[in-house]
Structure 1
């Protein structure tokens, strides 16, 4: 997961013990189905997945013969990604979008919460400019962001998120999330994991920016990307925007 325009990553992605349990704690990736469908819809042959994390989406595309670049600042997450089937067909890059080598792709994706980790307007503009530069003329950017009015964070507490999972080669792990602060459009929260094998408790703090439909639309237009469509996320109807932006052909 990208943290702003830098190489920083939250502990949940950078700590090797947490990266190892990331997938078992979030096994349902039906949210990726819509993205995979759009790869087909738009006829994309080359895809850059920004904030690829443990590589689930990138490997799914690689299995279909799509040329995929998986970008993430977190070495621990990329190490997990590289153990997966089809990972040898993905070009993995550790870093930020601003550090990408010269390339042109048909589609750029930011799945899950990736688009919301860019907290200030300057960081957000920097990532959009970097994306515009790697898109071929007519290429598209697809990303999702939670609707502020849905206030998803109201359910980010131990009561609603607690899990206790027995993970192979790791043992039993407990995990949950709690909101730690809400300031205007910024929501901060803390993941807590308890490893029963040795009693270790590891926490990871994150902050997301909840931008309005107007804010995002204007920010895309400001960098020369046209908003082609705004859809609902099939896995969270009424809770998220799915933006499809396009680089003009001329």
Structure 2
């Protein structure tokens, strides 16, 4: 939000908005917000939240992005890392660039592979308790099942009080700063800044282990 506020950005898209927490907060701050999310269940949860009526919700993916409709595009919660295939990543960057008006900014986070955060995704270190809105306490932990060329597959475990356990498998790509920069430049962006943490530390000097990227549509790209 603080990076977004640095420059005027009336029209904002939250791409991969999930259950809408950020989209609703941006709308409350006065932005015209569109939230795009492929998972219907997440959108249903977003629409039930207070303030949701201020956001335009769209069920879809990159094909749902209109042309030159936004001043800024955000991808948070490491959405960029779920685009594992290079072709999928290029297509997403191209669609995001086309969705931005002249001078538009793309802001997103991706974990720094040099931090090797996946080494801490194990039952002992990742286990925590989440209290659901109804008061039910659920034990949650993550277990890595495969790491190949910085593509990490892991299983999320959810243990409910009655003993029922649900699992979900996900795969994420850990791109280096160099890979991210080259992909953005090929898509028609100029990289403005890359931070290493949420307090805007240099890359490699934060315990957050992040790559927080701010890119701007190149002026000669239409």
TM-score where L is the length of structure 2? 0.91
- For the 8 Å contact 2:75–2:109, the answer to whether it is kept is yes
1:47 is aligned to: 12
Large movers: runs of 4+ above 3 Å? none
Q: Matches of 1:81 and 1:164 in 2, distance apart?
A: 22
Q: Equivalent residue of 1:205, what SS?
A: strand
Q: Matches of 1:72 and 1:63 in 2, distance apart?
A: 19
Q: Equivalent residue of 1:122, what SS?
A: helix
Q: Equivalent residue of 2:170, what SS?
A: strand
Cα shift at 1:214: 1.2
Q: Matches of 1:240 and 1:78 in 2, distance apart?
A: 27
- For the 8 Å contact 1:144–1:233, the answer to whether it is kept is no
1:180 is aligned to: 145
Cα shift at 1:227: 0.8
- 1:171 matched to 2:136: yes
- 1:233 matched to 2:203: no
1:68 is aligned to: 33
- 1:200 matched to 2:159: no
Q: Matches of 1:164 and 1:213 in 2, distance apart?
A: 33
Cα shift at 1:103: 5.1
2:56 is aligned to: 91
2:217 is aligned to: 247
Q: Matches of 1:93 and 1:133 in 2, distance apart?
A: 18
Give the structure, 1 or 2, with the largest relative contact order (CA under 8 Å, sep 6 or more). 1
Q: Matches of 1:114 and 1:151 in 2, distance apart?
A: 18
Cα gap change, 1:242 to 1:164, in 2 (>3 Å): closer
RMSD value, Cα: 1.6
2:112 is aligned to: 147
211-220 vs 231-240, greater mean Cα deviation:
231-240
- For the 8 Å contact 1:61–1:68, the answer to whether it is kept is yes
Cα gap change, 1:159 to 1:105, in 2 (>3 Å): same
Cα shift at 1:166: 4.0
How many residue pairs align between the two structures? Answer: 214
Cα gap change, 1:129 to 1:175, in 2 (>3 Å): same
What does the per-residue CA deviation read over 1:26-83, in whole Å, with 9 as the maximum and x for residues that have no partner? xxxxxxxxxx111210211111111110111001011112100111100111111111
Cα gap change, 1:102 to 1:132, in 2 (>3 Å): closer
Q: Equivalent residue of 1:37, what SS?
A: coil
Cα shift at 1:186: 0.2
Cα shift at 1:172: 2.7
